[in-house]
Amino acid sequence: MPSDAGKYDFEVDPHNRNSTYGLICERIPEGSAVLDIGCSSGNLGVALERARGCRVVGIDVDEDAVGVARSRGIEAYVADLTRQPAETVVGERRFDVIVLADVLEHLSAPASLLAPAAALLNPGGRVLCSFPNITHIDVQLMLAQDQWRIQPTGILDETHLRFFTEANFTELAFRCGYEVVAVERVVLPPLGTEVLEYGRALNLDGGEQETLQTISQRANPNSLVYQYVFELRPAPERGQAVVEVLSRVGYTPSAKTQDGRLDVIVRTIEGRLHYLQDALYSLAGLTYPRVRAIVCVDSSPQTYADQVEELASHLDGLLDVAVTVVPPHQSERGRPLNWGLEQASGEFVSFLDDDDVYYPSFGDTLIGCLRERPEVTVAYGVGQVVRGEAAPWGFRALSHVKRYDEPFDRAHLFVENYIPINTLVVRREPVRRAGIHFDETLPIYEDWAFLRELAARFEFCFVDSLVSEYRLRTDGSNAVPEGSEERWERTGAQVRQRYSGQAVRVPAHELADLYERARELDRRVRELDRANGEEIAALRAELGSVRELNHRLLNSRSWRLTRPVRRITGSSLPEDG
């Protein structure tokens, strides 16, 4: 809650749809019970009471501003809700609408205020949040001139601790247990905000300004958005996520709450720092609240490990990163993954190569499946293969090639690998107790061997949702080298032979499915044999007819009489020679 909210003390026009307060007023039903957190001098509360007949309670940390609000007839209280529960202020009262107008960007941990707000709502209640858009074109122009200057008010207010876009605020709302009902926008044109002097310094004429606006909106459709107003609805189905995010920002979780952390094992080697950066930033963008990256630096000099440590430092506050150097070894690709498993202590574990990325919903989707199905140990989703090229900043996508989206089939998995390692989450403790590790003697297919070990003992669950991206570079540096197909086939056969004698836990329903599939395949083979036999007999009969017809033609009187003509015209057949 801003401590100097009084500097935003201006009149509220409830009918102005291109103003934050106008949009907020429009979305509040008449006669609503409203809690205005960060009420300042009560301007919004007065407008709501007069224009919408609402009953407003205001809270702010600024004692002077609260005094002004009270003088205007608003029931207002002095309190800092980042330090004390709202119930100590409002008691048992509940509200139809809670307003957080330009408040969350002033907090170091906005989730600590947003997440608990849902408990203060009546059934069907809503939370309305407004905040400035950090990607407005005027800010882009300022950055283009190598400037970042705070302002007394506005987008770059000197008291702002967090900066939001539409995407990252949506993720915040999701983590705090909400669903986005609606998004409204206040629009200001280029050179129309408080940071316009940086744009004016470019001395753009009208045509140049129009071109700039066109290019900017092509890259970012929200580049003219000055303020957002989000309407949020509590989503009780994400209650566990709310407990976890509150724990992350300092609240004490329930004693029944499990650890819940996802440890992501990332293996990397020298020369791939720019790819690793994309991978780690994708982890920082996960909507799942408890994530730790365990970066295993393998077969690389200490200088590369130092570079990875420096990269991790830039993610401080965004992602928990543990950098560990894999001791020298003579093993194959499975060693860094096993090393990461030994360092892991979270309830869940997943795996990511340094040149691939997760999508934001990865953790929520797959761990949500494991939460719903306690009998399942491995959950996996859809992996997208994207072809692209190396760029100075990492990876430039060019085309989407294919998707790995096959539902679980234990028998199929023992024949070939169809589950990419970057699409799955496993429960760590059952895997640890079973002593399952990656096969360090295999030069490739170490992930397939690991999956076969898991499938021999545990249940899998496929979630038909896109969760990760396998990046295939056009220079072939991470593709299967041409001419190496024999190596893959040889190693694949080695995996099948090595694990062929392994006892496999196959549920009764899978055995029944295998039996029915075998019967169906046998039926289809018999039908094909029968059809092929009939087709061959028909072809033989047709061939006999053609031969008979050809014999009659060549021995006919007309064919003999026209032989000289065919020789002259050059159309004679071998039989004419």
Each of the 577 residues of the chain gets a pLDDT tens digit; together they read 444 444 555 677 877 877 889 999 999 999 999 999 999 999 999 999 999 999 999 999 999 999 999 999 999 999 998 888 888 899 889 999 999 999 999 988 888 899 889 989 999 999 999 999 998 888 888 887 777 777 777 888 888 889 998 888 988 888 888 888 889 998 887 777 765 555 566 666 777 777 777 777 676 778 888 999 999 998 865 544 555 555 554 444 333 333 789 999 999 999 889 889 889 989 988 888 899 999 999 999 999 999 999 999 988 888 999 999 999 998 888 999 999 999 999 999 999 999 999 998 899 999 999 999 999 999 999 999 988 887 666 677 888 888 999 999 887 887 788 999 999 999 999 999 889 999 898 888 898 889 988 988 899 999 999 999 998 877 665 554 445 567 667 767 777 777 666 655 555 555 556 556 656 666 777 777 777 777 877 778 777 776 776 766 667 766 667 677 666 666 555 555 5
Those residues whose C-beta lies under 8 Å from the C-beta of residue 243, and which sit 6 or more positions away, are 253, 254, 257
Given this model, what pLDDT does residue 122 score? 93
User: Whose CA is closest to 418, among 441, 445, 457?
Assistant: 445
Residue 425 confidence (pLDDT): 97
Predicted TM-score (pTM) of this structure? 0.49
- Give the type of residue at 555: N
Is there a contact between 326 and 298 (Cβ–Cβ < 8 Å)?
Answer: yes
Give the per-residue pLDDT at 258. Answer: 38
Sign of CA dihedral 566, 568, 572, 577: positive
User: According to the model, what pLDDT value does residue 348 have?
Assistant: 96
- For residue 201, the model assigns a pLDDT of 62
| Cross-strand partners of 185 | 228
Q: Rounded CA gap, 453 and 438, in Å?
A: 9
Which residues, other chains included, contact 441 with Cβ-Cβ below 8 Å and sequence gap of 6+? Answer: 331, 332, 334
- 225 CB contacts (<8 Å, ≥6 apart)? 133, 135, 136, 166, 185, 186, 187
- The candidate with the shortest Cα–Cα distance to 359, out of 219, 474, 471, 274, is 471
Q: How many CB atoms lie within 10 A of CB 270?
A: 15
Q: Look at residue 251 in the predicted model and tell me its pLDDT.
A: 43
Which pairing describes strands 460-473 and 424-427: parallel, antiparallel, or unpaired?
unpaired
Helix (H) or strand (E) holding 467: strand 460-473
Neighbours of 275 (CB within 10 A): 21
